[in-house]
Homo-oligomer: A and B are copies of this chain.
Amino acid sequence: DLKEYFRETEAQGLKGTRQAQRESYGWWRRLRWYQKPTIAMVNGWCFGGGYGPLFSCDLAFAAEEAKFGLSEINWGILPGGGATKVAQELMPFRKAMYHAMTGENIDGKTAADWGLVNEAVPLAQLKDRVTEVAKVLLAKNPVALKATKDAMKRVGVMSYDDAEDYLIRAQEAANSYDNEGRKEGIRQFIDEKSYKPGLGAYDKDKVKA
C-alpha cells in the first residue's frame, strides 16, 4: 500500500526512520557483496528506491520497454537511498545531473546507452538473454568469479599502484580457497590443449576426475 510506504515509517519518528534506513541499506550492502554473481532483470518501472538494489547487482539487463526514473524531484525531495550516488557512479556526469534534476523517465534502451544497465533487449527476449549470461557465468570457476567482481568494485577508489597490489592479494586469497582450479585451467590449456582461454572457459568439472 502506497500510503503505508510513504507515511508509516515517518510516523514512527526518528527511531523508526533510522531503523528502516539501516535495514534497507543493510540488505543492499549484503546484495552488493553477495558470494554468487547477481544479475538484475528489469522490466516495468524502476524508480529511485530501486536504484540501490539495481546497483548492488553485478550485472543488469532491461527490457527496452522498461522505464527508469529518479522521480523524487517531482514530489519535492532529492534522490536518497543512495540513488544520487548510483546515477553518479554509472552514468556520464551530464546525463546523471539531467536525470536527477528533471525527473524525466528514460526507457531501457536509453538506460543501456547511459550506463545504468548492461543491455536492453526486447521484452520477449529478456529472460532468454539473462539465462544465457547466467549460463556463461555458471561455467566459470566460482572462486575466481567472486574475486573478479569484488575487485572491480574495490579498485575504483584506489591509486593505480594500490590496485596492482590489491589484485595480487585478491588472487592469492582466492588461491587459498581453490588453488587447484587455476592449475587445472592452465593444464587443460597448455598440456591438454582442450580449450583456448581467449575463446571460452576450461572444463571445471574435470578437476575432480
- Please measure, in the bound complex, the distance between the C-alpha atom of A6 and the C-alpha atom of B47, giving whole angstroms: 43
The bracket for how many chain A residues form the interface is 35 or more
List chain B residues, Cβ under 8 A from A123. Answer: none
- Please measure, in the bound complex, the distance between the C-alpha atom of A84 and the C-alpha atom of B166, giving whole angstroms: 10
From residue A32, how far is it (CB to closest CB) to chain B in Å?
Answer: 8
What is the 8 Å Cβ interface bit string for chain A, positions 160-197, against chain B (1 contact, 0 not)? Answer: 11111111111111111111011011101110000101
Residue numbers of A with Cβ under 8 A of B are 2-3, 6-7, 14-15, 18, 21-22, 25-26, 30, 32, 35, 37, 45, 47, 58-60, 67, 69, 71-85, 87-90, 92-98, 100-105, 115-118, 133, 136-137, 140-141, 143-145, 147-152, 154-179, 181-182, 184-186, 188-190, 195, 197-202, 204
Q: Is the interface of A mostly helix, strand, loop or mixed?
A: helix
User: Closest 6 interchain pairs by CB?
Assistant: A75-B185, A172-B173, A76-B141, A85-B163, A176-B176, A76-B181
Establish whether residues B76 and A144, one from each chain, have CB atoms under 8 Å apart when the complex forms: yes
Candidates B118, B168, B188, B198; contact of A80 at CB < 8 Å: B168
Establish whether residues B141 and A97, one from each chain, have CB atoms under 8 Å apart when the complex forms: no
Residue of B nearest to A139 (CB): B74
Candidates B118, B145, B169, B172; contact of A98 at CB < 8 Å: B118
Supply 22 A–B pairs (Cβ within 8 Å), ascending by A: A2-B190, A14-B177, A47-B198, A59-B101, A67-B198, A74-B140, A74-B202, A75-B188, A76-B141, A76-B182, A76-B185, A77-B182, A79-B148, A79-B151, A85-B155, A94-B116, A95-B118, A97-B152, A103-B201, A154-B162, A157-B159, A175-B176
Given A159-B161, A163-B85, are A101 and B173 also a contact pair (CB < 8 Å)?
A: no
- Please measure, in the bound complex, the distance between the C-alpha atom of A58 and the C-alpha atom of B101, giving whole angstroms: 9
Residue of B nearest to A56 (CB): B160
Establish whether residues A73 and B173, one from each chain, have CB atoms under 8 Å apart when the complex forms: no
